Amino acid sequence: MKTTRLVMLVMTIAVALFILIPNLSWAADDGATLYKAKCAMCHGPDAAGKPAAKIPSLISDEAKKMSDADLAKAVTEKAKHPSTVKSLPADQVKAIVSYVRSLQK
């Protein structure tokens, strides 16, 4: 009887974790993680850009003067951005903008 209760408890915990863990997507929404996965390949890990390839710096004075809304718009509407970047959900774009702002300091 004790074994049955223990098995049921373990199964209940396993099912609860199976249901809850996919909803706890804090890592996917982390701005640094998103930036490294979606932006760093072109803009560089330090967001300095590549002037020779006409990829703008995200830490330049010009970028610092942009509003968060303008930066978000640039992420989602920039002609050269791949469709995987253009189709990011608004909360992920906001996380990337916040991370870029942290790099600008």
CATH number of the domain at 83, please: 1.10.760.10
Give the residue carrying structure tokens 């706890």: 24
- Would 31 be classed as within a structural domain? yes
Q: How far apart are CA 33 and CA 56, in angstroms?
A: 20
In this structure, what DSSP letter does residue 55 have? B
pLDDT at 72: 93
- Would 33 be classed as within a structural domain? yes
Give the predicted TM-score (pTM) of the model.
0.70
- Would 16 be classed as within a structural domain? no
pLDDT at 26: 52
Give 38-44 contacts, CB < 8 A, sequence gap 24+.
38/84, 38/85, 38/88, 38/96, 39/85, 39/96
Per-residue pLDDT of the chain (105 residues), as tens digits, is: 688 888 898 899 888 777 766 555 554 458 999 999 999 999 999 999 998 989 999 999 999 999 999 999 988 888 688 887 888 899 899 999 999 999 998
- Read off the tokens for 104: 């600008």
pLDDT at 29: 59
The whole domain housing 69 covers 26-104
Give the residue carrying structure tokens 């970028």: 63
pLDDT at 82: 84
Q: How far apart are CA 92 and CA 23, in angstroms?
A: 15
User: What is the total count of domains within the chain?
Assistant: 1
Q: How far apart are CA 90 and CA 105, in angstroms?
A: 23
- Would 21 be classed as within a structural domain? no
- Would 39 be classed as within a structural domain? yes
pLDDT at 7: 87
